[in-house]
Amino acid sequence: MLIDDLQRKAAEVFVAGTRKASPSLRAKAMGGPAGALITAQIFAGMARSFDRSKGGDLDAVIRWDLGPAGATPDESWDLIIRDGRAHAIRSSGAEGTEPRTTVGLDRETLLELAAGILNAPQAYISGRLRMKGDVMLAQRLTTLFAVPGAAKAAPAVPRS
């Protein structure tokens, strides 16, 4: 399990750095050449952090359309949950897989959700997250994946 431990530690370090980065730096990273690599790592991390005790009963495809609202997505990813496991693939839509839920957002919002900077209800209310299809499944997604480093206690704030 050394590889799992290394992947988990790398994700925690990345998330900690992302949380410290300014919004403009996060936007620049996701809009630049590293954005595609970061996006692929986020989806790979989602598949690894899938909690089968909470979602082992699911048989679903969740499509993630990345791009601005109202436009053709820049790219799409399918998160396939089946037999107690999850895996993610970049989707062209030609695979013939019909998603049960489609989530629309831009790359910066994806990064902020994955790092725990933003939560899904906030993103939805502000219009940064769009959903269609099985909305109940979309709401359940927040319980199915662990955010790296989220379980760590916040530093104590001294009282004055």
In this predicted structure, what is the pLDDT of residue 9?
79
pLDDT grade, residue 62 (50/70/90)?
Answer: very high
Q: Which two tokens stand for residue 33?
A: 């050449």
> pTM here?
0.83
Residues 66-108: tens digit of each pLDDT: 998 888 899 999 999 999 999 999 987 666 678 999 999 999 9
Residues 6 or more apart from 141 whose CB is under 8 A from it?
62, 101, 103, 120
Predicted confidence at residue 152, as pLDDT, reads 47
142 neighbors 101 (Cβ within 8 angstroms): no
* Structural domains present in the chain: 2-144 (3.30.1050.10)
How much is the pLDDT for 11? Answer: 78
Give residue-wise pLDDT tens across range 8-21: 778 788 888 888 99
What is the mean predicted confidence (pLDDT) over 115-122? 89
Helix (H, G, I), strand (E, B) or coil at 59: coil
Rounded distance between C-alpha atoms, residue 19 and residue 116, angstroms:
8
- Pairing between β-strand 101-105 and β-strand 85-91 as defined by DSSP bridges: unpaired
Closest CA to 110 of 156, 73, 140: 73
Tokens, residue 84: 């107690």
